[in-house]
Chain A
């Protein structure tokens, strides 16, 4: 935790010199055939706001005598896990602990991968709220693929440390759902940083936020439209028609470099990247009939939907989701707060899982995000009640490796396997009990949260000096 204060008080540069095996310099993201290198415009891998994240100093740590839900296999009872150089070095019944390792006895406790929330608005709708911090919806036009959520993220949002204390180690921060196409998401590590760049997950792909149904037509119904669901669909298709055209022009120019390059368009650049498969689509959509239409639109223009978010009716088309390889980022029990959420059932997750589609427990809520384990537990019980019991080994996947897949990061995070990032949570007990809480949280092997030691918990700039917690 010393590193934390180093960052807050001295600055990133001083800390960056700390030895670390996992330091990653900002590197171009996935390469594709069309790449022509940095400096060219409208290229797939242009990275104008590169991550400056540097893992915090870590020490070799062993947790032994602990129950481990790996999200990659059966529960290991009274097993051990070794974190070394920011990575998971070993997991099993026993591990060989190096002599210098810090050894933690985990008797009666549980270890899981860090939780991943693929639907967050932390930083873009920061606490304490109000218009001044309302930065999540560029509600000036129903189609705004040109905006990037990271440009709205306030790193001092006091909700970040609370999320970390809830065992969340990675977040996808999305623009809101006012717009048909809301803009780019950003994937963040839940770490203190002076800048959003210092929180950005190195190498993570961007996501594109799209939204179905009531929200866009409610926001734009009296402002030039769309005012109907059919207007929504016309809006998506018009945008993709332009994107296909834009991509064609740029792909041609990138291939032959003849003449002047086409004029850049920020929004179409993002959409073209979706068509090239470099940006993953996260589609807010409640109703099954609308999800089926969004799938047809994706087919029409040749892109893939990575995840339907909210999907309270996912259970009605679980077979279709499984066939299309689309995940469902859903709540355990939210419903009826609007018309399109009326058919919410608590067994949604169990039914979708049973049909063979990927289930993700998401939050869309700064409070719920702190207790995603409890949300999963409610959904497990709902499954059991209808004769579709969900094992803890399955439920942990809903919280970790499945959202990792939705973000395209399942090779780095989401399960406790040798070589993966040491994003680890030690729970006071069974994580699916209402009485369990994260006790310690590591990101890239660095201990960033310790419930037992309030003096070393991350506090944002915003929280400094306020009376309530300075009084005791």
Chain B
């Protein structure tokens, strides 16, 4: 009888390990300055992660027996960072290489039904470098056309796409700053087109039977696209509009009011010019702090103070890479911390910058119950930094995702090992 029980327990444990990786254990991070983000910082705090989830946070938290103990004395402990706008996992090589899976062809530049995460490659070699520098979650954003498709928020964990996904979709993505890209002639036509599609989605919502009997007028979008837009017009799925010019943001806000759509502004070069209005409407802005170039007539007001000014006015800000160089859409999503440092340098409060790369993105994408803060019940996405996470001399010393620590060698680490002692031979790297 006894041996039978033991076997059952052992089997159960083995199953747990297999299904959740090596997370079926307890980790206690002790002695660090903990930034839960959802609350005030905790000096000399302890964070306990059990079976992948955070189970205790505070100053007088006992370390459970058998727990792996991480000494974080003198270190900074934060939630894993969330990059709110990338093509990580759907783009291995930007161009001239394997296909990029970030864009759909759609019909008339409308691809609302496009679920970009279906093309996600969990074995992308770009994932490990991002995680190594503290990115534990990211939002895959589809690009191109007028309505680009649906975004997903995923954790940087091994496994299948389903293993990675925290929530999908988290937003419908559209771009209204560039009529040409949408295959249209002008800004006004672009807004008309969006209206037409949203009107059709509404009509489709209440006349599906008629549609199936081919008794409806022609629609501006395909059946699947209209169906995908229903959560948007019902206010359940946010509409993330990539838009820079003040007047375009204004047009987007009018459209959102009219259709009762939950709006998010992406890019938002000139969002600072209407910070008060965005704050009053509680419209989040995804933007960066490393661009000040009037890179087009829609972005003449581009400035590095943008996130700081928005945040000061009370706008929910999620920081994204916005400088347009250096492959920040994939390989360099890891530079989010640099973006945050620059945001601080240009007027954003340090705590707000930390929030803008953790809890705010989690909130605006509807996953704050899972990631973005160090609270009991959240995923064990926690980073131990050697110092100020935004500073260049700081290292992400321990990166936990769902309670498992990742410190495997990246492809870059292996290349360095191979070539650090030259000449060596390339097949037999020097020891």
Contacts and interface: CB of A to CB of B under 8 A. Distances in A.
Interface stretch (B222-230, B294-302, B367-375): B294-302
Interface in B373-431: 390-393, 395, 412, 415-416, 419-420, 422-423
Contacts of B393: 377, 380-381, 384, 432
Interface in A409-445: 432-437
Nearest to B390: A434
Contact of B97 (A128, A339, A347): A339
Given A336-B126, A342-B93, A315 B342 contact: no
B326 interface: yes
A380 B392 contact: yes
Contacts of B93: 336-339, 342
Contacts of B412: 344-346
B331 A336 contact: yes
A66 interface: no
Q: Is the interface of B mostly helix, strand, loop or mixed?
A: loop
A27 B246 CA distance: 50
Interface size class of B (residues with CB under 8 A): 35 or more
A367 interface: yes
Contacts of A162: 292-293
Contacts of B415: 343, 345
B335 A333 contact: yes
Interface in A378-404: 378, 380-381, 384-386
Contacts of B325: 334, 363-368
A468 interface: yes
B290 A463 contact: no
A434 B341 contact: yes
Contacts, number: 144
Q: Is the interface of A mostly helix, strand, loop or mixed?
A: loop
A434 B345 CA distance: 7
B94 interface: yes
B39 interface: no
A381 B334 CA distance: 14
B318 to A, nearest CB: 19
B345 A367 contact: no
A318 interface: yes
B338 interface: yes
B300 A128 contact: yes
A463 B326 CA distance: 26
A434 B392 CA distance: 7
Contacts of A159: 293
A140 B338 CA distance: 39
Contacts of B344: 434-435
Contacts of B164: none
A194 interface: no
Interface in B223-253: 246
Contacts of B391: 433-435
A342 B301 CA distance: 35
B218 interface: no
Given A337-B331, A338-B96, A347-B416, A129 B295 contact: yes
Interface size class of A (residues with CB under 8 A): 35 or more
A233 to B, nearest CB: 19
A374 interface: yes
A405 interface: no
A435 B345 contact: yes
Given A337-B93, A367-B325, A368-B323, A385 B422 contact: no
Interface string A452-471: 00000000001100111101
B392 A433 contact: yes
A335 B416 contact: no
B4 interface: no
Contact of B392 (A214, A342, A351, A381): A381
B392 A377 contact: yes
B392 A337 contact: no
Contacts of A367: 290-293, 323-325
A264 interface: no
A463 B294 CA distance: 9
A331 interface: yes
Contacts of A471: 273
B94 A338 contact: yes
A251 interface: no
A309 to B, nearest CB: 15
A249 B273 CA distance: 64
Contacts of A450: none
A127 B294 contact: yes
B92 interface: yes
B301 A468 contact: yes
A364 B327 CA distance: 13
Given A345-B412, A351-B419, A334 B327 contact: yes
Contact of A127 (B96, B270, B295, B334): B295
Given A351-B416, A380-B392, A469-B301, A338 B97 contact: yes
A339 to B, nearest CB: 5
A319 B423 CA distance: 7
A337 B95 contact: yes
Contacts of A355: 422
A471 B270 CA distance: 12
13 contacts: A316-B422, A334-B327, A335-B327, A337-B95, A338-B96, A343-B415, A365-B326, A367-B291, A371-B290, A377-B393, A381-B392, A434-B391, A471-B273
Given A162-B293, A462-B294, 15 more contacts: A127-B293, A128-B295, A128-B300, A129-B296, A158-B293, A319-B422, A338-B94, A345-B412, A347-B416, A367-B325, A374-B342, A380-B393, A434-B390, A434-B392, A467-B300
